[in-house]
Amino acid sequence: MDAQDASLQLVGSVLIIDSAVHSGSSMLAVTNKMYELGAQSVVSYSLVIKRGTSFVPNYFGLVIGDHDRALFLLNKYPNNRLCRKPPFGTLRALSEQDVHKPQSVNSGVTSIDNVTWGDLLYDKVTKGASVYLFENAQSIMGYISFRVVRQNTLFVDAIVVDKSLHGVGLGGMLMRWAETSARSLNCCGIELYAIEERKGTYEKLGFSDMGHKVLDLGNEKYWLMNRKLLYNLDISNGAVA
């Protein structure tokens, strides 16, 4: 932005399109600039995104490895949709700079709301967890943390949405990114612990409990659940048919 553009103000929604997202830093910077200029929402699309990107577009073609290349021989481009309706927001990787921000997500679950960005960064560094934050107008309103625990299984450590955004599909959007990442990492199933009050929600998403394995934390009870991604494979006991 030069001096002549300093007074520019945006109104409404902005669409950002890029052919390929590598590190994600450029698209993230442009998105943040659009919000600074007054955009109410920013929708983004990229044909290809690298697995290690720090920014995930709302819409994208496909995910490839960081050292891979893609060649399209199709009449129509693929389109994966993380969001179909507002809030579109920004999905980005947790960074070291986030540690200095206050925990702003109020999910209504005591144990989860006590988790800090520092705790999540520790899991990222020491356990190899992938942690992505959802920002709405640059305010963090949710996040998801997941990691590969076995060769064929991705485990979701946490999927958290602020109470003010319950019921708008944000949890489903975060889960769609976890599923996309799982397929990209050649996983054939997803596991998670679902708090008892929301067990039915995960059942609607195709999850089933794994033999009534319950984690009792006193005031909170969690059910171990899983969902197949490749239905022709048997992921019971970690085995692949």
- Walk me through the domains of the chain, giving residue ranges and CATH numbers: 1-89 (3.40.50.2020), 94-241 (3.40.630.30)
Q: Is 70 helix (H, G, I), strand (E, B) or coil?
A: coil
Task: Please provide the average confidence, as pLDDT, over all residues in the chain.
Answer: 86
pLDDT at 5: 52
Give residue-wise pLDDT tens across range 104-135: 899 988 888 899 999 999 999 999 999 999 99
Give residue-wise pLDDT tens across range 40-82: 889 999 999 999 999 999 999 999 999 988 888 878 877 888 9
What DSSP assignment string belongs to 160-216? Answer: EE-GGGTTTTHHHHHHHHHHHHHHHTT--EEEEEEEGGGHHHHHHTT-EEEEEEEEE
- CA-based end-to-end distance of the chain: 56
CA-based nearest residue to 44, from 67, 71, 26: 26
Partners of 56 in beta bridges = 91
Quote the DSSP letter at residue 19. E
Mean pLDDT of 9-28: 87
pLDDT at 177: 95
pLDDT at 4: 46
